[in-house]
Amino acid sequence: MDMREKQLSHRYFFEGKIMKARLDEVELPNGKTAPREVCEHVGGVGVLPIDRNGNVILVRQFRYPYDTEMLEIPAGKLDHGEGESIADCGARELKEETGCTAARLVPLGCEYPSPGFLTEVVHLFAALDLTEGEMQPDEDEFVEVVRLPLAEVEAMVECNEIRDAKTVVALYRAKLKGLF
């Protein structure tokens, strides 16, 4: 059965710097129509830094939509223009948020944070063979670097202390690839 839906119309309600919101009317596989709310997002990159001792480097930052601080991997938006590659974006975010540079960025695929309404794609990397340096956060970015053993990070995922999807996916994929 072909389950694709055909867009019949769309109307934008908001157009911001990193996202746009629209309402579509689609034709369903059975010929009926339905509305679809879509948030178009520029996408991003998340980087899982693993130090030479197998520790994970995370960042703690306040996340306004959830009104809480969260532990997560360094990450950022693909909003620096077409000249910046996905890997370059990951390297930039790693340096900005942790001060680290990586001799190796290992691709971990991508993930779709909320495919029911959001077009965002987050590309994931593991950062290995790290050199530590000075953080260079954006002027509106306040982060704390947290270095933890893998077992402690896994326990935090298991007890729901770490809820960030890109972090959980990156950890799992890095472990499957034998990077720890």
In 52-100, DSSP assigns E strands to 55-63, 68-72, 75-77
DSSP 102-131: EEEEEEEEEE-S-TTTB---EEEEEEEEEE
Active-site residues, by number, are 139
CA distances from 45 to 26, 54, 99, 108, 174 (A): 30, 21, 17, 11, 15
